[in-house]
Amino acid sequence: MSAITINTSSSLPTRMHPGEARPFGNPAHEEHIVVLGIGNVLWADEGFGVRCIEALQRDWTFAPHVELIDGGTQGLYLIQNVQSATRLLIFDAIDYGLAPGTLKLIENDEVPKFMGAKKMSLHQTGFQEVLCLAQFTGHYPAQVLLIGCQPEELEDYGGSLRPIVRQALGPALAHGLEALTAWGAQPLRRATPLPEDATLTGAMLTLARYERERPSAEYACRKGDDRFIPKGL
């Protein structure tokens, strides 16, 4: 699945394909704020970062030099987005070893350490490498902020955010908007939220529709079918 990016001066997202031409780094040193949500919405609390981006895009507009990206699980394919950023804000589910739903903010050079401290999925391995590669090439944002949320449940394919993690969305967005305001991103709440078919995640995967239409754990055997995976193994 390709990463999806939006120019925040427009209401409709465009899709960025891996390998699509993009200037290396930011040679003109123009202000470019990248807001990135990473994770997999199909694995319960793993989708926290993407849901943050979905909410930001739905309810807020920003200055033209701000780019919102649903990075999904793209890993190394996000390198050019990081290299072109002067400031980078990341939302993700991070296993800090804290109580579920706890937010922790990490800044600048400490961010790569936490992205790889206790990997929960392959996307974190890839994105830690993205940050290190950007540092190695000398095209690294002047400021980086990671807003991470401690997950409660990850082993639930087809599941959604657990209530305690969903409650953390609002505070996480507040922290993010505070940082974006300080960076000159000019956040402005929309008079009318964007419709589902205009979101980065796509109409079928917005949080509201996903919650309405996904099958129950019992119907979908999301945690394993006892007919094939006997209990106790």
Domain ranges of the chain: 4-220
Unique residue bearing structure tokens 């109580």:
99
pLDDT-derived band at 1 (thresholds 50, 70, 90) equals very low
Query: Does residue 38 have a pLDDT over 70?
Result: yes
3-state secondary structure of 177: helix
pLDDT-derived band at 214 (thresholds 50, 70, 90) equals low
Largest interatomic CA distance in the chain: 60
**CATH architecture of the domain covering 4-220:** 3-Layer(aba) Sandwich (3.40)
**CA pair distance 188, 195, nearest whole angstrom:** 17
State residue 216's pLDDT score: 67
Top mean pLDDT of 16-20, 125-129, 198-202 is at 125-129
pLDDT-derived band at 7 (thresholds 50, 70, 90) equals very low
State residue 226's pLDDT score: 54
Nearest one of 32, 160, 136, 39 to 89, comparing CA atoms: 32
Tens-digit pLDDT profile for residues 120-156 = 555 455 788 888 888 888 898 999 999 999 998 887 7
Tens-digit pLDDT profile for residues 65-86 = 999 998 887 777 888 999 999 9
Give the 3-state secondary structure percentages of the chain, helix then strand then coil, rounded to 5: 35, 20, 45
State residue 209's pLDDT score: 65
pTM of this structure: 0.77
Q: Which residue has the higher pLDDT, 178 or 129?
A: 178
Q: Which residue has the higher pLDDT, 15 or 61?
A: 61
Q: Are 92 and 148 in contact (CB under 8 A)?
A: yes
**CA pair distance 90, 34, nearest whole angstrom:** 8
Tens-digit pLDDT profile for residues 81-111 = 999 999 999 999 998 889 999 999 999 888 8
Q: Which residue has the higher pLDDT, 109 or 180?
A: 180
Q: Are 36 and 163 in contact (CB under 8 A)?
A: no
